[in-house]
Amino acid sequence: MTEPEIVELVNKVFENAFEIEKEKIKPEAHIFMDLGLDSLDIVDLVVELQKGFKIEITDNEKLREIRTLQDIYDFVSTTRAEMGK
């Protein structure tokens, strides 16, 4: 999976599972301040990312550092690489 494909799939998660308007979905968008997610929504985000990318997310430390959509793209990319995908 290429970087643009990861970006597209993550964006789709935000569009479909969170019904966030396309215009708001930008790499620099802050998921808490700009998109209105809270710590509990992260649970749903993790479920959707696991489903979409067929990965297992267990690293809570890295998850806690996520602030922007770009952080999520990087997080997914790293997790996939660690899983040898």
Partner 1 sequence: MALCCAVTVLAENNWHMKKLKLIYLNTTFYLLFFLASALIIPTLSVILVTARIFISERLFYRYFRRAIRFYGQVVVRLPYPLVKVRYEDMSNVDKSVPHIYVCNHNSMSDPFLMSVFPYEMVQVVNVWPFSIPIIGYYARLGKYLDVNNMPFEKFLADAKTLLDEGVSIAFFPEGTRIDGAEMGSFHSGAFRLFLETKAPIVPVCIYGNKKIPPKGSMWLHPGTIIVRSLPPVTWEEYQDSTAYVVKSNVRKRIGEEIATMSEGQ
Q: Which residues form the catalytic set?
A: 38
Let me know: does 48 contact 17? Beta carbons within 8 Å.
yes
Distance CA 81, CA 31 (A): 23
**Using CA atoms, how far apart are residues 60 and 3, in angstroms rounded to an integer?**
23
- Smaller CB separation from partner 1, 19 or 84: 19
Q: In whole angstroms, how close is the CB of 65 to partner 1 at the nearest point?
A: 20
The least CB distance from residue 16 to partner 1, in Å, is: 9
Is residue 36 involved in binding partner 1 (CB under 8 A)? Answer: yes
Contact 85, 76 (CB under 8 A): no
Residues that bind partner 1 (CB under 8 A): 17-19, 36-38, 40-41, 44, 48
